[in-house]
Structure 1
Amino acid sequence: MSPFGAASNLLDLSQTSLYICLISITASPLAWNVIGRNEYKNKTLTKLIGARVACTILGVTIFIAGLLRDVLYRIALHDQPQYPLPFELQTVLAWIIFGAGNFLVFTAYIRLGFYGTFVGDYFGILQEKRVTGFPFSILDNPMYVGATMCFIGAALWYERLAGLLVALYVHLTYAVALHFESPFTDMIYAVRGSSVKKDD
């Protein structure tokens, strides 16, 4: 069998569900970065309905979009060729990776709270200081790492190796998002730190 024939047994590029899934993965970080930066600079939503209400609506929207993304990912996986895996990979490793990913996401949410998780800093809703406790003590971006792990775990559980390529796309998407988010967040807290020092 040729390499192309072998590849076609693992990845079906003709499935529309695959591309819809990739679009959904791209859309959320793109949307919250564009909306968040506009809010930080122009206060568009804050002027209309207030910072906390606006951030709450955006946060709920991001959460629902995440659920939809997960549903679309599952649909895309079911439309892809299945490749039988050994029990140790399909069940044991899948659950370990998926469980660890969810643990990172959950503990990061507990540390950050609702507004810290859903771009509250762009709305001027800041923590007293940057969060550094676990899991941020071991990872800079535990939510992104955890979410990527969940994609990997699901790909193994459903025995769709195409899902591993989608997980790689998730990782790359978050890496691009972080390229813009991290310096911007650093700047926000640097400005806050300067303001606190001046007040003191």
Structure 2
Amino acid sequence: MSSMASSLSSIVDWSKPSLLISVVSIAFNPTAWNIVARNEYHNKTITRLFGGNAKNGCYFLAVMIFSFGMLRDSLYHLALEDQPRQKMLPESYATLVPAALFVVGQTFVLTSTFALGITGTFLGDYFGILMDHRVEGFPFNVLRNPMYVGSTLCFAAGALWYERPAGLLITLYVYIVYLIALRFEGPFTDMIYSTRATAKTASKKEL
């Protein structure tokens, strides 16, 4: 156990405040947006702030999520700069692998955003803005959660590009945070669409 701790201390500088700040920001984003979105579903707080316009409320939340996402990424890169540097890949792959990971990751993020649209991407279903049918084209025909996978790949790309082993530990942490978030998001979103389907069935029976 002591040898493992000493090995970690050689690649991770736990004393740097930037590391803790980055870790907190990573956990903050999905946690905060899940809380805000559930409150919106039940109480319509943001919608009421925008005079009952759910779409404008969703656009506002989209700007907030995007802005905090950019801040999170900036804090991650600042944390990497404070961490020990160590070669992790052979010279011939040192730029190729992280570049490829970043391109693939961004492809998943951007194409999933394009497929879902702004309201579909940024929790529009919690505002009552529901999609007519499930998106099944790329990248959703490849991955169930392409945006989270793509984001995780970009974190790994940054760690490898800047040659910071601590970044790979942060990437693992990101993946775990996303898995936990999905355990809350998935069932709740399914419930929203199930409720709509039940309401549609009931209205047809009344007709």
* TM-score bucket (shorter structure): over 0.9
Equivalent position SS for 1:9? helix
CA distance in 1, matches of 2:133, 2:159: 37
Q: Is the 8 A contact 1:89 1:156 kept in 2?
A: no
The correspondence for 1:75, drawn from 75, 78, 92, is 78
1:143 corresponding residue in structure 2: 147
1:84 corresponding residue in structure 2: 87
Deviation of the 1:192 alpha carbon: 1.7
Matched, 1:190 2:194: yes
Structure 2 portions without partners, runs of 5+ = none
CA distance in 1, matches of 2:136, 2:199: 21
1:60 corresponding residue in structure 2: 63
Structure 1 portions without partners, runs of 5+ = none
1:9-88 correspondence to structure 2 within 5 Å: 9-49=10-50, 50-85=53-88, 86-88=90-92
Deviation of the 1:32 alpha carbon: 0.8
Q: Is the 8 A contact 1:152 1:164 kept in 2?
A: yes
Matched, 1:108 2:112: yes
Equivalent position SS for 2:95? helix
Deviation of the 1:3 alpha carbon: 4.4
Equivalent pairs counted in the alignment come to 199
CA distance in 2, matches of 1:159, 1:45: 42
Deviation of the 1:53 alpha carbon: 1.5
User: Which residue identity lines up with residue 193 of structure 2 in the other structure?
Assistant: Y
Equivalent position SS for 1:114? helix
User: Which residue identity lines up with residue 14 of structure 2 in the other structure?
Assistant: L
Equivalent position SS for 1:18? helix
CA distance in 1, matches of 2:203, 2:130: 16
Percent identical: 50
Q: Is the 8 A contact 1:130 1:189 kept in 2?
A: no
Structure-1-length-normalised TM-score: 0.95
